[in-house]
Chains A and B, each alone.
Chain A
């Protein structure tokens, strides 16, 4: 059982690993790719000590498909990777969603397209939030901005995965994964070992055999299945998470997520000290997107600027959320470079001044 209140000085990747084990992780399947190697390395050493299974798979394809098996058997299971590896996992993620199986997938987003670079980027936002694999499905997506959030959100990810019987993605990058910060561990409520007994495969004894599948060939059955999935996604939309910082009297709200949200926070602090009325809205759930909360701010007459570490992806969700009232400016910080709070000063001031 995870210790309560222990203060550790660790990397985001290690916080994710520790959080997952605290949440009752039983099976981890991985494949090396920078910048997430700390996770499989940690798991290989630590997971067996608590009776869990670690497999270094032959590929990301295999690792993600191992999740299907472990999830079908009802175990808390996880894989982690970075952009090109996550592309390979998409087939299995689509099957997990289609088969209604719970699993956690970590993507420490790096630069792309193609092989790109190994530095931080937010180029996988579309892939993470719009499905990524084939078919009508969504993955719950949580975006940590601090090492503490890495720890806390991965714990929440397992609960959400089982609550909705759906894959949950943790979307980070090299900034949040590689930086070290103090993390306070917490005692995690031991999850019910009987979790999933009503659907998991465990041997057909004294009941009809169970089939976990995503194939629905008889007329109308796929439509019914997709309707059930949609109802689930509608329900997820009720519990979005976000951080609001200095938004109350702000004239301009900057919308930014993950490590960029955190860097923007520093910029906002600095500009506030200079008397500028700016604030930050940092979505923590990227899917479902916190549209309602953003819409409330739009109704208050705020201006918006979306800042991302890409060429403009989340800005589409921001615009959808506020489109009946106003619009958002966009500033994209090119992947391939590492931003500092100063890099965001000029675009924020420009947006504030309406130029």
Chain B
């Protein structure tokens, strides 16, 4: 090769320089990176209070250089509410997987949105419970095989995959709700822009900001990282359409 490409970039100050524990091809790392970059670019690193939840992302607090508190499974929105009410002057960010947010934590996510709590929640939808070994999640798709839906999810018995970005957009206190994907560079760039909006509505005091990220779990999908990205494109995006479902900034 004649041309030598030099890949060099600055590490955002909000990102801790340690290796992460994620599986190859897992997009939690991409999501963390985008969040860290945005905190740095928006000058929020020193003012952010982070709430981490249960699931593969539980160690997020080791990877972001911000003060943090760990929430019980599903309860991150309640914990984030407590943090924000105690420190209204701070930027409050929370991060949850789909099992965490759409199953055990369904009540808490509905009500934080409805109250219009001024916090931002990043929601990673990989259609499966990652950490516990690939069981069926509320977002598992029709026909998808998991360790607890061995014959594929049957909507007649187990219901359909839940579309959270649409539901959250319906609630009164939501200022921003969007779904993006992390399966290619173009989508990752769009994801960052959308995450920025979700952060901005908090800064502007407009209400609750929600961002759903379609992400891969190659390990539990029993796929290579490339196959997993293809699945996001061919199966997930058609059922979970990308787009902005609510944007209070567009209305003013």
B41 interface hit (Cβ, 8 Å): no
B231 interface hit (Cβ, 8 Å): no
CB distance B72 to A66 under 8 Å? no
**Chain A nearest Cβ from B44, distance in angstroms:** 9
Partner pick for A68 among B68, B82, B107, CB 8 A cutoff: B82
CB distance B87 to A73 under 8 Å? yes
CB distance A213 to B86 under 8 Å? no
CB distance B111 to A74 under 8 Å? no
With contacts A65-B72, A209-B68, A211-B61 known, is A27 near B82, CB below 8 A?
A: yes
Residue on A with the closest CB to B115? A55
**Chain B nearest Cβ from A64, distance in angstroms:** 8
**Chain B nearest Cβ from A117, distance in angstroms:** 27
**Residue with the greatest number of chain A CB neighbours at <10 A, chosen from B79, B84, B115:** B79
CB distance B83 to A70 under 8 Å? yes
**Sample of 16 A–B contacts (CB below 8 Å):** A26-B86, A27-B85, A62-B81, A65-B71, A65-B75, A68-B72, A69-B69, A73-B83, A75-B87, A91-B72, A95-B70, A203-B48, A203-B66, A209-B66, A214-B70, A215-B58
CB distance A62 to B58 under 8 Å? no
Determine the distance from Cα of A280 to Cα of B69 in the docked complex, in whole angstroms. Answer: 45
- B1-27 at interface with A (beta carbon < 8 Å): 16
Q: What is the total number of residues of chain B having a CB less than 8 Å from a CB of chain A?
A: 37
Q: A residues within 8 A CB of B154? A: none
Which B residues are closer than 8 A to A by beta carbons? 16, 45-49, 51, 58, 61-62, 64-72, 75, 77-87, 90, 107-108, 110-111, 115
With contacts A65-B78, A65-B108, A202-B90 known, is A92 near B72, CB below 8 A?
A: yes
Residue on B with the closest CB to A59? B107
A334 interface hit (Cβ, 8 Å): no
List the 6 closest pairs (A to B, CB-CB), nearest first. A69-B82, A65-B78, A201-B67, A66-B82, A73-B86, A69-B83
**Chain A nearest Cβ from B221, distance in angstroms:** 25
Q: B residues within 8 A CB of A67? A: 82
Contact-residue size bin, chain A (C-beta under 8 Å from the other chain): 35 or more
> What 9 additional pairs, Cβ within 8 angstroms, besides A69-B51, A211-B68?
A27-B85, A73-B49, A73-B86, A73-B87, A75-B87, A203-B47, A204-B66, A211-B70, A213-B68
Q: A residues within 8 A CB of B65? A: 204, 209
**Chain A nearest Cβ from B136, distance in angstroms:** 23
Residue on A with the closest CB to B47? A203
CB distance A71 to B82 under 8 Å? yes
Determine the distance from Cα of A67 to Cα of B82 in the docked complex, in whole angstroms. Answer: 6
Q: A residues within 8 A CB of B90? A: 73, 202-203
- A160-217 at interface with B (beta carbon < 8 Å): 201-205, 209-215
